[in-house]
Amino acid sequence: MSDFYSAFWDYYIAIITLVSLVGCAVFLKMQSRRRVVVAPGQEMSTTGHVWDGDLREYHHPMPRWWIMLFYLTVLFSVVYLILYPGLGTQFKGVLNWTSAGQHAEEVKRAQAKYGPLFAAYLQQPIEQVAADARARQMGERIFLNNCAQCHGSDARGARGFPSLADNEWLWGGTPEAILKSIMEGRQGVMPPMGAAVGSAEDVTDLAHYVLSLSDSAHDSVRAARGKAKFGACAACHGADGKGNVQIGAPDLTNRIWTYGGSVAAITETITRGRQGVMPAWKGILSDAEIHLAAAYVYSLRGQTTPPAATGR
């Protein structure tokens, strides 16, 4: 949008703002006239508006206290525009205040207050930090603010986003692996394998064989036919289907499904492939914040049992 920016809009905003202020002041002056003294027997003029037959609107000015409040509002606006930016970017106010500057100052104060505590946890192993109740609470806050959008507030994931509360890990569940996942991110790729497997019937047979690896509900005849087609998948998932944490290939024997464990979902995965991206948080979160978040995630291990065959 910066390509469409020009100084014209600065002057436009400044002129509109100043004209509005002057207009308010002029209007208040016009309404501040004293009540006209009417001679005995002479009727005061009205605006011509009549309600309910005899209720007329006279030319009385607004009450003094009300007018003074309006004048104070105009005065406040003038003082505010002198002190703070309100007339476009050409005039930043005598205090030179900016929202970015205020945020930086607040971050600086927070770092001065909490920095020593964060630094102390950064020096401790993740296992030790995970055992500290206060550290886990801090890590949970970091998780809720930055990770819950994908993994859920309870860290149990959703379709396309793995659970962090069990003992199954696409890239490994050691403290080092979790820390690396958060800092550097992960790129999980399941290429489309439909053409390599064969026809649509072959893909369906393979889907039933994949279900049979976790003893999920499947057609045994189709699974027997699909076993021969699993060779195209063994390079990543292994001949036994137990996956490979070095490349993020999931274990197919544990009934845990990131994209769903139905025949239709597995068929879609084989045919179209999947793309899973875990963004890198290094540079967004500090090293200490990443350390605390990793400790919190590490502390969640084993809190849930594997889901049913339909999976997640």
What is the topology classification, in CATH, of domain 98-185+284-304? Cytochrome Bc1 Complex; Chain D, domain 2 (1.10.760)
Q: Which of 31-35, 38-42, 223-227 has the lowest mean pLDDT?
A: 38-42
Q: Are 214 and 253 in contact (CB under 8 A)?
A: yes
Q: What whole-number distance in Å separates Cα of residue 256 and Cα of residue 163?
A: 9
Kindly list the distances between the CA atom of residue 100 and the CA atoms of 5, 9, 91, 97, 238, in Å, as whole numbers in the listed order.
Answer: 20, 21, 16, 9, 51
From its phi and psi, is residue 217 left (phi > 0), alpha (psi between -120 and 50) or beta? beta
Look at residue 46 in the predicted model and tell me its pLDDT: 72
Q: How many whole angstroms from its chain centre is CA 44? A: 64
Over range 164-193, report the average pLDDT. 94
Q: Which pair of tokens denotes residue 62?
A: 């607004």
The pLDDT tens digits of the residues spanning 217-237 come to 999 999 999 999 999 899 999
Q: Which of 49-58, 73-82, 267-276 has the lowest mean pLDDT?
A: 49-58
Where in the chain are the domains?
Answer: 1-33+55-96, 98-185+284-304, 188-278
Q: Which of 41-55, 140-154, 246-260 has the lowest mean pLDDT?
A: 41-55
Q: What is the 3-state secondary structure (H, E, C) of the chain?
A: CHHHCCHHHHHHHHHHHHHHHHHHHHHHHHCCCCCCCCCCCCCCCEEEEEECCCEEEECCCCCHHHHHHHHHHHHHHHHHHHHCCCCCCCCCCCCCCCHHHHHHHHHHHHHHHHHHHHHHHHCCCHHHHHCCHHHHHHHHHHHHHHCHHHHCCCCCCECCECCCCCCCCCCCCCHHHHHHHHHHCEEEEECCCHHHHCCHHHHHHHHHHHHHHCCCCCCHHHHHHHHHHHHHHHHHHCCCCCCECCCCECCCCCCCCCCCCCHHHHHHHHHHCEEEEECCCECCECHHHHHHHHHHHHHCCCCCCCCCCCCC
Over range 79-100, report the average pLDDT. 88
Look at residue 49 in the predicted model and tell me its pLDDT: 78
**Percent of the chain whose predicted confidence (pLDDT) is above 90:** 68
Residue 5 has pLDDT above 80, yes or no: no
The pLDDT tens digits of the residues spanning 268-304 come to 999 999 999 999 999 999 999 999 999 999 999 876 5
**Percent of the chain whose predicted confidence (pLDDT) is above 70:** 90
Same fold: 98-185+284-304 with 188-278: yes
Residue 109 has pLDDT above 50, yes or no: yes
CATH architecture, range 188-278: Orthogonal Bundle (1.10)
For the question of whether the overall pTM of this predicted structure is more than 0.85, the answer is no
Q: Are 122 and 288 in contact (CB under 8 A)?
A: yes
Residue predicted with more confidence, 307 or 126: 126
Identity of the amino acid at 48:
G
